[in-house]
Amino acid sequence: MMQYPQITIPPRSEHLWRYTPWKRVHPTKVEEMPKADPIKFSHGAESEMADSEEIARAFIHSVSPICRKITVSDETVEVDLRCSGHICAGELSIESKGHSNIVIRISGDAGWTGLRVTGSVAGTLSIAYINDLASDAHFLRCEDWQILRDSTLEFAILSAGGFLNKSDIRFDLTEKGSAVRSGIASNGYGSRHDDHHLEIKHSVGHTDSSLVMHATCNDSSHSVGTGLLTITEGADGSDAGQVFRNLLLSEKSRAEAIPELEVLADDVKAAHGAASAPIDVNQIHYLASRGLSNEEASALIVEGFLMDAFREIKSETVVSALRTRLLVHLECLMNG
């Protein structure tokens, strides 16, 4: 398999690297192979992960000094990922059976963090990621998930930390009855840059998927959401949809929402949508008339807007963890 130094740097014309090019993601000069400190995982046994021919995955694999595996079965697990040092990296393999919940919190003051995750779901898994990295951190994440027959993955992200964030997340529905419900909430402030690229592939028929991404953008922050939905030839009976919504809180903020569909089967349901709008001044006035300050009113609207990204997530454990952390984050921003 091709190693990272032999992989050609992708051009900005490539869908995945259009808004956050690889040279901007790499922690050093692109020809260098820096040494990385290990991510500190609170759970997991030692494991190994195969290399990849995709540049971001290959790079994280090349510099990662650690790989952990977490196996869950009918349980709820909280996992802390602590990132420190100039460059920090690690790989995580997740295997889920039965009905389980995982809440992962990523925190620390590392200048650059790379995380690669692979996952397999048999049963129902609800997983939440909370990005609590330092406000000047750079974060690269790559994930590959396989959902097996009659299994469901509920996948949720609260992205509120880091300065430059790039995520490449891919789901493969490989067997009949498999489903993925995903929700992403991104809160932009300062000059924060948050780029989420998701790919959902319906490899067989009678599979379901949904993607909801909500982003709030304040100050001069920039949010990017791209979704590639593929329904392969012969995957009849598939039902898929994706929605991107952006709430612009300042004139200098920016948001990109690019849903894409590639449908090669005939008997399917596939829908997509994208919308961006400023905050509703009537809502601000209404809340202000009830005694809230403008800052409190805006925070309340932002909370409701971001939590609505998790409308398809049924796990109360996961939704509660996300809401608790979002409220803390918004309060910290107000008291700033």
The DSSP code for 49 is -
Distance CA 68, CA 120 (A): 14
Residue from 158, 108, 113, 161 nearest 135 by CA: 161
% of residues, the chain, pLDDT over 70: 99
101-127 per-position pLDDT tens digit? 999 999 999 999 999 999 999 999 999
Output the pTM of the full model. 0.95
46-58 per-position pLDDT tens digit? 999 999 999 999 9
State residue 277's pLDDT score.
82
The DSSP code for 249 is -
Distance CA 308, CA 303 (A): 9
210-232 per-position pLDDT tens digit? 999 999 999 999 999 998 999 99
Instruction: Please compute the mean of the pLDDT values over residues 310-322 and round it to a whole number.
Output: 96
Write phi, then psi, for 331 (nearest 5 degrees): -65, -40
The radius of gyration computed from the CA coordinates of the chain, to the nearest angstrom, equals: 19
Contact 126, 157 (CB under 8 A): no
Contact 265, 239 (CB under 8 A): no
Calculate the average pLDDT of the chain. 94
Q: Is the pLDDT of residue 2 over 70?
A: no
If one counts every other C-beta atom within 10 angstroms of the C-beta of residue 250, the result is 15
In 52-86, DSSP assigns E strands to: 67-73, 76-83
Structure tokens at 195: 């780029």
